[in-house]
């Protein structure tokens, strides 16, 4: 990303949304097979790495991220040093992406930390080595390492087909102000699945190869998550009523996002959503094209 200054490197950690997400099967170990389309957003955190003997992490910004030792940046950095030796780094994470939001912030931070640590090596290991570590840190980390603004992912989300993204579009991300743990959301899905049985709908990847979804886009987390947080269903309806061409829960939530065709419509929608939901945070960003 930016050139090293005083021995430090800085990497951007972009947020993602899921333009499509289907949960396909539950593995014996409890993990789920899924298929999804990731789209990167301009909204980002930054990770700065300065060479140092051990690994340490400080976090700036107003986002609550929990204990440092549980931070995916820390876990990724320790896994990197364990696997490949060499020096460690003092890591500084500047947080803007809400946590527990379905925006892949923690995974993206981990990916940025791996890229930064690799750049500090006299001979960088390259993406393949980082992907191997990344997949052990979190299911969304590989997407954030793959370098594509859009990708189709399957398996646990670690198998990727890079896609070309269409030109940048305005995206509104609505942060309701509470977090949802991914593991809990999968559990809610499993309960609902047992109760009702899911009827899979066919998905044609060509629809999202160089285009945007419409209001019929699918995220299998919506039913179980909206059942527990009905306010989120209302946020989705509000975004669609303000002119979003598509609005979905992102990942397992708790954020809901809308994709807009037009900047003026998006700006007006942001004001209307903020008026209707004074407790929510409306983040206006764009997709990466
Ligand atoms: O991979 P990540 O750490 O984000 O996953 C958090 C939790 O979500 C896992 O511990 C697991 O319970 C659940 N999960 C799953 N299937 C996936 C990804 C995550 O069941 N494909």
In this structure, of 6-20, 93-107, 170-184, 196-210, the range with the lowest mean pLDDT score is 196-210
Mutate to test the pocket of ligand 1, among 23, 24, 31 (most ligand atoms within 8 A of CB): 31
Instruction: Determine the straight-line distance between the first and last CA of the chain, rounded to whole angstroms.
Output: 17
Q: Is the minimum distance from the CB of 156 to ligand 1 under 6 angstroms?
A: yes
Secondary structure (DSSP) of 45-66: EEEEEEEESSEEEEEESS----
- Between 28 and 18, name the one with better pLDDT: 18
Buried residues in 141-173 as b, exposed as e (16+ CB within 10 A): bbbbbbebbbbbbebbbbebeebebbeebbbbb
In this structure, of 53-57, 60-64, 198-202, the range with the lowest mean pLDDT score is 198-202
SS3 88: strand
Q: Which pLDDT belongs to residue 6?
A: 54
Ramachandran angles phi, psi of 45, nearest 5°: -95, 175
261 flagged as catalytic: no
Q: What is the CA radius of gyration of the chain?
A: 19
| pLDDT, average across residues 166-173 | 97
| pLDDT, average across residues 86-109 | 96
Q: Is the minimum distance from the CB of 100 to ligand 1 under 6 angstroms?
A: no
220, two tokens? 């299998």
Q: Which of 45, 109, 118, 140 is the catalytic position?
A: 140
Mutate to test the pocket of ligand 1, among 182, 184, 191, 221 (most ligand atoms within 8 A of CB): 182
Q: Which pLDDT belongs to residue 127?
A: 95
Q: Which of 16, 109, 175, 236 is the catalytic position?
A: 16
Helix (H) or strand (E) holding 286: strand 281-286
Q: Which pLDDT belongs to residue 43?
A: 98
176, two tokens? 């309701």
- Evaluate if residue 196 carries a pLDDT over 90: no
Distance CA 154, CA 23 (A): 10
Q: Which pLDDT belongs to residue 99?
A: 96
Q: Which pLDDT belongs to residue 197?
A: 58
Q: Which pLDDT belongs to residue 206?
A: 87
- Evaluate if residue 80 carries a pLDDT over 80: yes
In this structure, of 77-86, 241-250, 272-281, the range with the lowest mean pLDDT score is 77-86
| pLDDT, average across residues 61-79 | 94
Mean model confidence pLDDT for the chain: 94
Q: Is the dihedral of CA 103, 104, 108, 110 positive or negative?
A: positive
Ramachandran angles phi, psi of 256, nearest 5°: -115, 140
Distance CA 45, CA 64 (A): 13
Tell me the whole-structure pTM to 2 decimals. 0.95
Pairing of strands 159-163, 150-155: antiparallel
- Between 130 and 86, name the one with better pLDDT: 130
Model confidence pLDDT, tens digit, residues 143-163: 999 999 999 999 999 999 999
| pLDDT, average across residues 57-64 | 93
- Residue 202 binned pLDDT confidence (cut-offs 50, 70, 90): confident
Q: Which pLDDT belongs to residue 73?
A: 98
- Between 9 and 197, name the one with better pLDDT: 9
- Between 208 and 199, name the one with better pLDDT: 208
Q: How many angstroms does the Cα of residue 224 sit away from the middle of ligand 1?
A: 16
In this structure, of 5-14, 191-200, 268-277, the range with the lowest mean pLDDT score is 191-200
Q: Which pLDDT belongs to residue 192?
A: 83
Distance CA 73, CA 144 (A): 13
In this structure, of 103-112, 197-206, 208-217, 261-270, the range with the lowest mean pLDDT score is 197-206
């Amino acid at each position: 990303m930016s050139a090293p200054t005083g021995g430090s490197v800085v990497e951007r950690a972009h947020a993602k949304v899921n333009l499509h997400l289907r949960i396909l099967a539950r593995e014996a170990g409890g993990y789920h097979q899924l298929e999804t389309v990731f789209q990167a957003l301009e909204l980002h955190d930054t990770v700065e790495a300065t060479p140092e003997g051990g690994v340490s992490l400080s976090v700036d910004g107003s986002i609550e991220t929990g204990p440092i030792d549980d931070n995916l940046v820390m876990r990724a950095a320790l896994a990197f040093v364990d696997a490949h030796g060499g020096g460690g780094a003092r890591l500084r994470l500047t947080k803007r992406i809400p946590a527990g939001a379905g925006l892949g912030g923690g995974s993206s931070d981990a990916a940025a930390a791996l890229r930064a640590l690799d750049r500090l090596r006299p001979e960088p290991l390259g993406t393949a080595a980082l992907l191997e570590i990344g997949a052990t840190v979190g299911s969304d980390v590989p997407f954030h390492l793959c370098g594509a603004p859009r990708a189709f992912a399957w398996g646990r989300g670690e198998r990727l087909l890079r896609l070309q993204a269409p030109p940048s579009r305005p995206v509104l991300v609505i942060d309701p102000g509470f977090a949802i743990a991914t593991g809990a959301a999968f559990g809610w899905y499993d309960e609902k699945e047992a109760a009702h049985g899911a009827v899979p709908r066919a998905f044609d990847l060509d629809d999202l190869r160089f285009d945007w979804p419409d209001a019929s886009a699918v995220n299998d987390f919506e039913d179980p998550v909206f059942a527990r947080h009905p306010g989120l269903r209302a946020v989705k309806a509000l975004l669609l009523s303000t002119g979003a061409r598509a609005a979905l829960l992102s990942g397992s939530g708790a954020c809901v996002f809308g994709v807009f065709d037009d900047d003026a419509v998006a700006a007006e929608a942001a004001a209307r959503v903020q008026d209707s939901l004074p407790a929510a945070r409306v983040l206006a960003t764009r997709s990466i094209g």
